[in-house]
Amino acid sequence: MSTAGKVIKCKAAVLWDIKKPFSIEEVEVAPPKAHEVRIKIVATGICRSDDHVVQGTLPTPLPVIAGHEAAGIVESIGEGVTTVKPGDKVIPLFTPQCGKCRICKHPESNLCVKNDLQSPLQGTLQDGSRRFTCRGKPVYHFLGTSTFSQYTVVDEFSVAKIDAASPLEKVCLIGCGFTTGYGSAVKVAKVTQGSTCAVFGLGGVGLSVIMGCKVAGAARIIGVDINRDKFAKAKEMGATECISPQDYTKPIEEVIKEMSDGGVDFSFEVIGRLDTMVSALLCSHDSCGVSVIVGVPPGSEQLSVHPFELLTGRTWKGAIFGGYKSKDSVPKLVADFMNKKFSLDPLISNVLPFEKINEGFDLLRSGKRSVLSFFLCMHPYHPNIWERLDAVPVTVF
């Protein structure tokens, strides 16, 4: 029976209050209006910004269905939708690409004005309304994506069609973490052949920066982290050496400058701390270095540096979503993945059934990135056994 045009009742993780666990609820998902797309989510990653919502450091109206790093299949489309059709595999885009605004027309910039990244977030689709209800109450959207739900509705410019053969439990990371890091190297910094790079923070996003530096032909990639357990994987991904600031008495930027003939060509801050943003800037060469801010500190904090640090010729920059125009670039990145240009496996610590979302967040807080799958379901008689399903049952009204 077709679900198109009907309200779908399905499972979602609703955040009713900050600093509280997600509650797995039955929600109603309204059909897509004109220029909207309803997607059956197959897999969703858990990203740091989702945790910032839980912690209250990314102010969002509540109750909310968070989640913004996912992959799924189009269930139905609203009037006027032309770029995707039911059955297409897709990735929702938390940074939209309307194609019409000043930023979309700018050759380099990517933060389309239709984004919902301002503070506080609006928590609706473009027409200002919502498609979710739970226990009779409307529920807010998150970054136009809301992927912690079996079904979600997005605006057409917030979804990209991808290769029909792509493994959704992997390519979901192209919806945020991987692309944010990889693009910071290849697109934002534009790392050059034979260059020296320093990457501060060796979590999943930092590893993606390393992959980007390697693909771009960097000769040396210096990984920096206070957790030495992160070094082995960073080296596997292409770091040529790894150091911990805790092993030195002098500031880490001085150590890196000595290692790199006065400073690296490209540096990246992938932690989200003010002190490491300044260290990353200062370890780049004072006349030709480029330093990229990838992390965002929770809350509203201010940076401070002496203007002379930039006057000598350094470049300090940042970008959301790796600087990529989302709707154009996501299908190409998926194609690169399918052509084995890079691997996503090292970024995924666990694949968990969707119901284990709160455990996934605990794992994130211990430095492990999980992917939640809607295709893993509890065995009816053995609660500790989870089975892969080809289809997830839903109720249609």
Q: Which residues bind ligand COD (CB under 6 A)?
A: 47-49, 176, 180, 200-206, 224-227, 230, 245, 270-273, 276, 294-296, 320, 367, 369
Cis ω on the peptide bond leading into residue 120 (within 30° of 0)?
yes
- Our answer to whether residue 283 is catalytic in this structure is no
CB of residue 68 to Zn ion, shortest distance in Å = 6
d(CA 395, CA 182): 39
**Active-site option among 23, 35, 47, 284:** 47
Residue whose CB is less far from ligand COD, 109 or 133:
109
CB of residue 315 to Zn ion, shortest distance in Å = 25
d(CA 248, CA 269): 19
- Our answer to whether residue 47 is catalytic in this structure is yes
- Our answer to whether residue 242 is catalytic in this structure is no
**Which of ligand COD, Zn ion, none does residue 98 bind (CB under 5 to 8 Å by kind)?**
Zn ion
Looking at the chain, the number of H-run helices and the number of E-run strands are 11, 20
- Our answer to whether residue 176 is catalytic in this structure is yes
- Residues 303 and 293: beta-carbon distance below 8 Å: no
Residue whose CB is less far from ligand COD, 32 or 223:
223
**Active-site option among 104, 112, 176, 242:** 176
Cis ω on the peptide bond leading into residue 107 (within 30° of 0)?
no
Residue whose CB is less far from ligand COD, 120 or 380:
120
Task: Name the site residues for Zn ion (rule: CB under 5 A).
Answer: 47, 49, 98, 101, 104, 112, 176
CB of residue 157 to Zn ion, shortest distance in Å = 7
- Our answer to whether residue 112 is catalytic in this structure is no
CB of residue 225 to ligand COD, shortest distance in Å = 4
Cβ burial 72-90 (10 Å sphere, 16+ → b, else e): bebbbbbeebeebeeebbb
**Active-site option among 10, 49, 141, 284:** 49
C-alpha distances in angstroms, 127 versus 35, 164, 175, 394?
10, 30, 23, 27
Residue whose CB is less far from Zn ion, 97 or 260:
97
* ∠ CA 293-297-301, rounded to 5°: 105
- Residues 27 and 14: beta-carbon distance below 8 Å: yes
Residue whose CB is less far from ligand COD, 11 or 214:
214
Residue with tokens 């940042």: 318
Query: What positions carry a catalytic annotation?
Result: 47, 49, 52, 68, 176
